[in-house]
Amino acid sequence: MHRLIARFDRLRTEAADAGMSTAEYAVGTLAAVAFAGLLLKVVTSEQVQTALTAIIDRALR
């Protein structure tokens, strides 16, 4: 009987950990998408595009 209880406790713990992994992946994915959106906003700004164009123009001279 003690072995059965120990196995049940272990299975319950493993199931809880599996759910946490999925939640952690979801939060990590959300953070990565938010960072990509912020980076896209910065790179497509007029100031950054002007600076990149100036760098490319100087490199091609």
**pLDDT value for 15:** 58
Which run of H or E residues covers position 45?
A: none
The span from the CA of 39 to the CA of 42, in Å, is: 5
pLDDT single digits (tens) 12-60: 766 555 566 788 889 999 999 999 999 999 999 999 999 999 999 999 9
Distance between CA 40 and CA 49 in Å, rounded? Answer: 12
With a cut of 70, say whether residue 5 has pLDDT above it: yes
Q: What angle do CA 11, 15, 20 make, to 5 degrees?
A: 145
pTM of the complete model beyond 0.95: no
What is the widest separation between alpha-carbon atoms in the chain?
82
The domain spans of the chain are 2-60
The pLDDT value recorded for residue 1 is 72
User: Looking at residue 18, what is its pLDDT?
Assistant: 59
Using CA atoms, how far apart are residues 61 and 57, in angstroms rounded to an integer?
6
